[in-house]
Amino acid sequence: MLGQAYARRRLAVPKRDKDRRAFQRRLKTGEVVMPYKGMYIAAAKWESLPYAQRITWALRTVCHTHPGWVLCGPSAAGALGFTTTIKLQRYVHIAVPKRSQAGRHGYVIAHFYKDMPAVKTVDGMRVTAEMDTMMDCGRMLDFEHAMVVCCTGLRLSGLPQHRLREYARGRKRISGIPRARYVAEHADPACENGGEATALAAILEVGACRPRMQATFVSPLSGGEIRADFLWERDDGSLVVGELDGRQKYVDPSMMGQGDSIDVILREKDRETQLNMLRVDVVRFQMEHVRDRGQLRQRLQAAGVPFEPVRRRSPFSGFRCKAY
CA-to-CA dists, residue 200 to 24, 28, 124, 242, angstroms = 44, 42, 33, 10
Q: Which residue has the higher pLDDT, 122 or 259?
A: 122
pLDDT of residue 248: 54
Count CA within 13 A, CB hemisphere, residue 47: 7
What per-residue confidence (pLDDT) applies to 172?
86
139-168 average pLDDT score = 97
- Is pLDDT at 309 greater than 70 in this prediction? yes
DSSP string for residues in 190-203? T--SHHHHHHHHHH
Q: What is the pLDDT of residue 254?
A: 43
pTM, 2 dp: 0.91
Q: Which of 82, 190, 84 is nearest to 128 (CA)?
A: 82
Instruction: Give the pairing of strands 280-286 and 239-245.
Output: parallel
pLDDT tens-digit map of 218-243? 999 989 999 999 999 999 999 999 99
State the Cα angle at 223 between 218 and 229, rounded to 5°.
35
Task: Report the chain's mean pLDDT, rounded to a whole number.
Answer: 93
How confident is the model over 245-303, as pLDDT tens digits?
865 544 444 443 555 567 677 778 888 999 999 999 999 999 999 999 999 999 999 99
